Amino acid sequence: MDGTAGTVRGGSPAAAAMRALPGIWTDGRRVERACYAVGGLLMLGGLAHLLVFAADGGPWTGPVSWRKPVTFGLSFGLTLITIAWVSSFLELGERARRVLLGVFAADCVAEVALITLQAWRRVPSHFNMETPFDTAVSRMLAAGGAVLVITLVALTVAAFRANPGTAPSMRLALRAGFAALMVALASGAVMIARGVAEAQTGHQRAAYHVAAALKPAHFVTMHAVLVLPALAWLLTFTGSTEARRVRTVALATAGYGVAAAAVVAVSAVRFAAA
């Protein structure tokens, strides 16, 4: 599988894309299908906690709420599915692919499990150093974040290697998406570092406040790696030339970049003032 959708003849582009969707599963490598399945389960777990919230009530915002297992389950599940899919376009050795995706999937599960555990215990998951157990959970979450960074950096490096088997429009989308993802990881690392520093000096409530300031920047840069490659994939069903698809992806990348830069700038100002 080279990850190229190809143009499907007959019917509208939308209908052709819908017919091609099952091929992402059937043509996927075993490790990719495993990641799709695990990602789907994480998202289902997040949705299930919406029912828990509806039954139990309580605040939706704040460090102790059912929002955290919902949003983290959905976000990590979608991210795992995304990374498995976009990695199918990358030039990777099969062993490296299995290791990177396997480690990434296991880490996603561990992160969501720890966050969910703390939600059920009715205590904060991040920056919580109230007890030795809570401190251990916070440190495991931070270590898991480091593992995520390492695996995603490795995939980003692969995205910028020469890959003649992938269409130029998709290569552009992948590189722009992974570059934005690096910004998301950087903002996440800053959030964790500042939050931990505040918690260690006894300002745990302040830790959540300052970390929240960078959340918009983290979110908007995190999902470019899905949006831009998805656009490049959908364009293959329009019948347009590859040159036109490259221009369209370049325009979309520029627009996304401008919007993301604005969000990052506002978030940085708020973070500095927090």
> Which residues 6+ apart lie within 8 Å of 226 measured at CB?
78, 82, 86, 177
> Do 259 and 128 share a structural domain?
no
User: Are the beta carbons of 161 and 178 closer than 8 angstroms?
Assistant: no
Tell me which of 166, 194, 229 is where a domain ends: 166
pLDDT of the residue at 8: 45
Q: Amino acid identity of 233?
A: W
- Count CA atoms closer than 13 A to 34's CA, side-chain side: 15
16 falls within a domain: no
- Domain span including residue 244: 168-274
Per-residue pLDDT of the chain (274 residues; tens, 9 = 90+): 444 444 444 568 788 888 888 899 999 999 999 999 999 999 999 999 999 999 998 888 888 899 999 999 999 999 999 999 999 999 989 999 999 999 999 999 999 999 999 999 999 888 888 899 999 998 899 899 999 999 999 999 999 998 888 999 999 999 999 999 999 999 988 888 887 777 777 766 767 777 788 889 999 999 999 999 999 999 999 989 999 999 999 999 999 999 999 999 999 898 888 7
> Do 179 and 126 share a structural domain?
no
pLDDT of the residue at 198: 76
CATH of the domain at 158: 1.20.1420
> Do 108 and 192 share a structural domain?
no
What span, in angstroms and rounded, lies between the C-alpha atoms of 155 and 105?
A: 14
User: Are the beta carbons of 71 and 119 closer than 8 angstroms?
Assistant: no
